[in-house]
Structure 1
Amino acid sequence: MEKRSDYVLWFEECDLSSIPLVGGKNASLGELLKAQIPVPPGFAVTTKAYNLFLEQGGIKKDIFKLLDGIKANDMDSGEAASKTIRSLIENTEVCDDLQDYIGEFYRRLSKRCNVPAVPAAVRSSATAEDLPGASFAGQQDTFLWIRGMDGILTHVKKCWSSLFTSRAIYYRAKMGFPHEAVEISVGVQKMANAWVAGVMFTLNPATGDRATVAIDANWGFGESVVSGECTPDNFLVNKITDEVIRKTVSHKTILYTREPVSHSVIKQTVPAERSDIQCV
């Protein structure tokens, strides 16, 4: 095995120069920390770890052989290849050395948070999420409220396999983007038990105005906003004056939260008394 930093890195060790190793999402989390913006702690399982897993598992050639027959105008071929590849990845054992690295960092993360088997978000971070003329963002999976080493390893593999969803395969074929040119890292990050969550754009996505921050928010975890399952409250805020320029309070029907007994994420109906009031 090579040195530890080839396979696992704390977010504090990541920055934009690390994108080939940790992907866009993990690199951005590292940049936020360097800017002293509060970010829940965590670590990145690198693209080198992903490649080592494929090579030591003996499945790399099989995967790319299955992808050779994909046609940009044939979604059915992509669907069949996706099912086979994802099953192959999720049923292949992670080698002992990688298990040790990931396990040690998860134990350190739990100790750092003072929570045994700390609940974590296991997040995909691809190396090609936003490029000129193509956007790969949102094509890979994220899993919330994962606890224990077995759960972390299982969902790291699920994130790796999500590089080969039928949608991702079809999009790369359509854009003429080589499948082998995209690699994936995985972030393991302390779960925020959010009462309200959402997405903030540091410019107005509709106009490109850099003086405006756009915020979409809903009750519970941010999954309902990111997935588009709800119509969130929307706010436009002027960066210079901190003035709320526009506010739209929506009728919010669903939320994601933690089930207290099973410690799993569940979808619930928003209580009637909260469905039409401002969440932030």
Structure 2
Amino acid sequence: MYTVQFTEEACRDVRSVGGKAAGLADMVAAGLPVAPGFVLTAEAYRAYLAQQGLAEVVSQVLDRLGASRDQGDFDRAEAEIAEHLLGAALPADVEEQARAAYRRLCADIGVPEVAVAVRSSATAEDSVGASFAGEFETWVDVVGEDAVLEHVARCYRSVFSGRVMSYLAEKGIAPHAIEMAVVVQKTVRARAAGVMFTLSPTSGDRSKVAIEASWGLGLAVVGGEVTPDRFLVDKVGLGIVERTLGRKHLEYRRGDAPVPVPEERRDVACLSDAEITALAELGKRLEKLHGAPQDIEFAVDEELPPGSDVILLQCRPETVWSAAERKPAFDASAGLMSWITGSISGAPAGGSAAGHQHERGTG
């Protein structure tokens, strides 16, 4: 089988569907709110490369790269591989199953030619050791069978972009080790969207949930185009302990281009207190489900009624503070006075967080 539904147990196999898709399937299995969709497995990607000798051509180009760290070499390799991949259609059986899965999704939702997000889910993606956030593309508002197939092929080609190959070299990962599954998921009509960490991304404090959000799709937040609203929620009582309103001057209502936010909404919180609390509760459930702090993307779907409009888009392990060594609160060798003064100043152990990244497109 080249396609699996989020609701199927096979969709929880990271080796077959990648970290992103497996995370979505885990959320579905746990009864968490996720927009419906399906996945083209890594087996479909292998079938794509197996045709017309594409795998051999790609291997030859990658082998010539060797241990290069020169961006020019990566860009030239991308261009050479693209010459061969651009003319390659999906295998007939992969195409047939993808079309059937899209038609089934349309039927299940009750919308002919429903708009979907097409998102990469690399098999080495979203692990704690090697987060690929921001390295692969996402497209939203893709409509129709033909467009879905074209964007699946784009996901496949993105594996061999110069940017990705440079990133892999930096991490010491061979490009041959990457296989691409593709998530096809109903586009969420986001009134607001953003990211959530089940710890403080600035201090690593695990007693808090941190939320950043802005109007429209999450593209403006993850792309750094706006200053989002920021909320800090206490995990125990779910009280909102900090709120900082951002300057939200533009929004993506669809996936193509941003539009100005009306003046009267720019300095108004894009999330209600009820939505903030609901998100924090979902974040706690996800952290418990995975047994570690999580980095979550979400949206509030304006097509759904209040109370059921908060949708989870993606969940991955938090990679910055989770990888840091956790020191005991009291170091006996430092002395009691040192511990007291440190507690009063509130200085975090381990410095400030950096490196949290998200995909270019959040759909």
Q: TM-score, normalised by structure 1?
A: 0.91
Residue identity in the other structure for 1:12 = T
Aligned residue for 2:189?
193
Is 2:19 the partner of 1:24? Answer: yes
| Structure 1 residues 90 and 233: CA distance shift in structure 2, 3 A | farther
Q: CA shift at 1:87, angstroms?
A: 4.6
Is 2:268 the partner of 1:277? Answer: yes
Residue identity in the other structure for 2:113 = A
SS state at 1:234 partner? strand
Is 2:154 the partner of 1:158? Answer: yes
Aligned-partner Cα distance in 1 for 2:234–2:45:
42
Q: CA shift at 1:15, angstroms?
A: 7.0
- Assess if the C-alpha contact under 8 Å between 2:141 and 2:187 holds in 1: yes
Out of 28, 36, 41, the residue aligned to residue 41 of structure 1 is 36
Q: TM-score, normalised by structure 2?
A: 0.71
- Assess if the C-alpha contact under 8 Å between 1:57 and 1:94 holds in 2: no
Aligned-partner Cα distance in 2 for 1:129–1:39:
20
**Which runs of no fewer than 5 residues in structure 1 stay unpaired?**
259-263
Is 2:224 the partner of 1:228? Answer: yes
* Amino-acid identity (%): 40
Aligned-partner Cα distance in 1 for 2:147–2:229:
33
Q: CA shift at 1:134, angstroms?
A: 3.4
Aligned residue for 1:261?
none
- Assess if the C-alpha contact under 8 Å between 1:120 and 1:146 holds in 2: yes
> Cα deviation per residue 1:139-173 (whole Å; 9 max; x = unaligned)?
11100000000100000111111112211101111
Residue identity in the other structure for 1:234 = R
Matches within 5 A, 1:82-101: 82-101=78-97
| Structure 1 residues 16 and 149: CA distance shift in structure 2, 3 A | closer
Q: CA shift at 1:58, angstroms?
A: 2.4
| Structure 1 residues 37 and 17: CA distance shift in structure 2, 3 A | closer
Q: CA shift at 1:95, angstroms?
A: 1.4
| Structure 1 residues 17 and 191: CA distance shift in structure 2, 3 A | closer
Q: Which entry has the higher C-alpha Rg, 1 or 2?
A: 2
Aligned residue for 1:216?
212
Out of 194, 199, 202, the residue aligned to residue 203 of structure 1 is 199
Is 2:238 the partner of 1:242? Answer: yes
Q: CA shift at 1:265, angstroms?
A: 2.7
| Structure 1 residues 271 and 86: CA distance shift in structure 2, 3 A | farther
Aligned-partner Cα distance in 1 for 2:226–2:194:
11
Residue identity in the other structure for 2:30 = A
- How many pairs are equivalent? 270
> Cα deviation per residue 1:103-158 (whole Å; 9 max; x = unaligned)?
00000000000000010000111111244553322211100000000100000111
SS state at 2:188 partner? coil
- Assess if the C-alpha contact under 8 Å between 2:12 and 2:25 holds in 1: no
| Structure 1 residues 87 and 197: CA distance shift in structure 2, 3 A | farther
- Assess if the C-alpha contact under 8 Å between 2:245 and 2:268 holds in 1: yes
Q: CA shift at 1:175, angstroms?
A: 2.2
Q: CA shift at 1:211, angstroms?
A: 2.7
Aligned-partner Cα distance in 1 for 2:184–2:213:
23
**Which runs of no fewer than 5 residues in structure 2 stay unpaired?**
272-363
Aligned residue for 1:68?
63
Q: CA shift at 1:231, angstroms?
A: 1.8
Q: CA shift at 1:205, angstroms?
A: 2.5
| Structure 1 residues 213 and 82: CA distance shift in structure 2, 3 A | same
Aligned residue for 1:145?
141
| Structure 1 residues 151 and 134: CA distance shift in structure 2, 3 A | same
Aligned residue for 1:119?
115
| Structure 1 residues 60 and 213: CA distance shift in structure 2, 3 A | same
SS state at 1:197 partner? strand
SS state at 1:195 partner? strand
Aligned-partner Cα distance in 2 for 1:58–1:275:
53
Out of 108, 125, 128, the residue aligned to residue 124 of structure 2 is 128
Judge which range, 265-274 or 238-247, deviates more. 265-274
- Assess if the C-alpha contact under 8 Å between 1:15 and 1:28 holds in 2: no
Aligned residue for 1:177?
173
Judge which range, 88-97 or 130-139, deviates more. 130-139
Judge which range, 137-146 or 65-74, deviates more. 65-74
Residue identity in the other structure for 1:207 = S
Out of 8, 27, 41, the residue aligned to residue 13 of structure 1 is 8
| Structure 1 residues 89 and 210: CA distance shift in structure 2, 3 A | farther
Task: Please report the RMSD computed on the Cα atoms of aligned residues, expressed in angstroms.
Answer: 1.8
> Cα deviation per residue 1:64-112 (whole Å; 9 max; x = unaligned)?
2112232442100101112332453343111111111000000000000
| Structure 1 residues 198 and 164: CA distance shift in structure 2, 3 A | same
